[in-house]
A = this chain, B = another copy of it.
């Protein structure tokens, strides 16, 4: 039997009209002979009663430092309510649906509440339900410890649930339904000529996500990649084909140059602060070590790290900039902080091996008079730190320079 995992995000299950569209997607898969396994997120957005953020706020109103174990128990309700409603809607449509929490679906995690890691997936209950002809509707974002304590998987957890189930069930496909038509070359609110990608590799989509694109959680992609299960990102609200994430490029792709293409997309992350530390002595390595150790001990993530003789540069998220600078001054460091920065990245599987890519990148920025504060590159991406006010200009310029509208 061919299993297909279909994950629906919060906006897809928010209203009766949306849920009818979800039923149609599941029915289509079912009618094609697939065994659908449905994964749902909590309904709606912040401010709505059953949304994840609303439940967090509710718990924190009682006590801002409420224990994370209790926080996970209230968060469990968001997906439980959503999954019951979706199951009822499927039952009303004559489909034999059954609701399972993450724990009931066999997702076993560690007890790192609010950000638990999946230890293993026991697919036996889902397999037995599928053999009975049922359609399991699984609460995304959830797991359970071996002691049946409720855990949640952190941000993007529903994608992770879908990927973990797809992997454990050896699914033929994992479909990620959302409110956009697929993965785009850039944010269409910035670049009007941005287009939907027909296909993209696991590695590229991970890079896009890490560099700011809100499409699919990289953890989910990594899980699917390990078993080479294709992921399809598409819209609940249209019949567009969506974006296929895989390592195999289908022959009927309309992008004939897909293997040759240099860049896949342009992304950005805003609300970043740059920190420059000028070192007074010659013991650079020890100083660097102490600086990064102190950041780590204070739970401050650093990015875009450049270490030079006499100077260290890195970025932190803007709200942690003061804390980071204060820490460094305690060491007697000479610290300069630049707020209102943004990181703009061009991602592409083949970007590393292509001569002249960095030159093109710099050229696009220079022509537009955008000052470069820092750069960093990896084998699948080039990133630049600029002032936030230049983000639109930079993204548009890079999108055009790398021919992403074609």
In the bound assembly, the distance between CA atoms of A392 and B395 in angstroms comes to: 77
Which residues of chain B come closer than 8 Å to A58, judged between CB atoms? 81, 85
On whether the beta carbons of A91 and B65 are closer than 8 Å, the reply is: yes
Q: Which of A269-318 contact B (CB under 8 A)?
A: none
Which residues of chain B come closer than 8 Å to A85, judged between CB atoms? 58-59, 62, 74
Q: What is the chain B residue whose CB lies nearest that of A19?
A: B62
Which residues of chain B come closer than 8 Å to A61, judged between CB atoms? 16
In-complex Cβ contact of A62 among B73, B74, B88 (8 A): B88
With A50-B49, A58-B85, A98-B69 as contacts: A74 and B80 at CB distance below 8 Å: yes
On whether the beta carbons of B99 and A73 are closer than 8 Å, the reply is: yes
With A84-B70, A148-B148 as contacts: A91 and B77 at CB distance below 8 Å: no
Question: Which of A55, A74, A104 gathers most chain B CB within 10 Å?
Answer: A74
Question: Which of A61, A87, A148 gathers most chain B CB within 10 Å?
Answer: A87
Q: Does A66 contact B (CB under 8 A)?
A: yes
In the bound assembly, the distance between CA atoms of A61 and B92 in angstroms comes to: 10
On whether the beta carbons of B63 and A91 are closer than 8 Å, the reply is: yes
With A104-B148, A148-B104 as contacts: A59 and B88 at CB distance below 8 Å: yes
Q: Does A211 contact B (CB under 8 A)?
A: no
Which residues of chain B come closer than 8 Å to A99, judged between CB atoms? 69-70, 73
Q: Does A11 contact B (CB under 8 A)?
A: no
Interface size on A, residues (CB 8 A): 40
On whether the beta carbons of B148 and A62 are closer than 8 Å, the reply is: no
Interface string of A84-96 (1 = CB under 8 A from B): 1111110110000
What number of copies of this chain does the assembly contain?
Answer: 2
Q: Does A361 contact B (CB under 8 A)?
A: no
Which residues of chain B come closer than 8 Å to A81, judged between CB atoms? 55, 58, 74, 77
In the bound assembly, the distance between CA atoms of A266 and B19 in angstroms comes to: 50
Which residues of chain B come closer than 8 Å to A91, judged between CB atoms? 63, 65-67, 70
In the bound assembly, the distance between CA atoms of A149 and B98 in angstroms comes to: 12
Q: Does A12 contact B (CB under 8 A)?
A: no
Q: Which of A363-385 contact B (CB under 8 A)?
A: none
Which residues of chain B come closer than 8 Å to A67, judged between CB atoms? 87-88, 91, 98
Looking at the assembled complex, report how far the CB atom of A53 sits from the nearest CB atom of chain B, in whole angstroms. 14
Q: Does A268 contact B (CB under 8 A)?
A: no
Which residues of chain B come closer than 8 Å to A55, judged between CB atoms? 81
Which residues of chain B come closer than 8 Å to A73, judged between CB atoms? 80, 83-84, 99, 101
Question: Which of A58, A61, A88, A149 gathers most chain B CB within 10 Å?
Answer: A88
In the bound assembly, the distance between CA atoms of A64 and B91 in angstroms comes to: 10
Interface string of A34-57 (1 = CB under 8 A from B): 000000000000000110000100
On whether the beta carbons of A88 and B101 are closer than 8 Å, the reply is: no
Which residues of chain B come closer than 8 Å to A60, judged between CB atoms? 88
Question: Which of A16, A55, A69, A73 gathers most chain B CB within 10 Å?
Answer: A73
Q: Does A177 contact B (CB under 8 A)?
A: no
Q: Does A76 contact B (CB under 8 A)?
A: yes
Looking at the assembled complex, report how far the CB atom of A100 sits from the nearest CB atom of chain B, in whole angstroms. 9
On whether the beta carbons of A63 and B49 are closer than 8 Å, the reply is: no
On whether the beta carbons of A70 and B49 are closer than 8 Å, the reply is: no
In-complex Cβ contact of A77 among B59, B80, B86, B103 (8 A): B80
- A19-B62, A67-B87 given; 11 more Cβ-contact pairs under 8 Å: A16-B62, A55-B81, A62-B84, A62-B86, A63-B91, A65-B91, A65-B92, A66-B92, A70-B87, A70-B98, A73-B83
Residues of A within 8 A of B (CB): 16, 19, 49-50, 55, 58-67, 69-71, 73-74, 76-77, 80-81, 83-89, 91-92, 98-99, 101, 103-104, 148-149
Offer 18 A-B interface pairs, CB within 8 angstroms, sorted by A. A49-B49, A49-B50, A55-B81, A58-B85, A59-B85, A59-B88, A62-B85, A62-B88, A67-B87, A67-B98, A70-B84, A70-B87, A70-B88, A70-B99, A73-B80, A76-B77, A104-B148, A104-B149
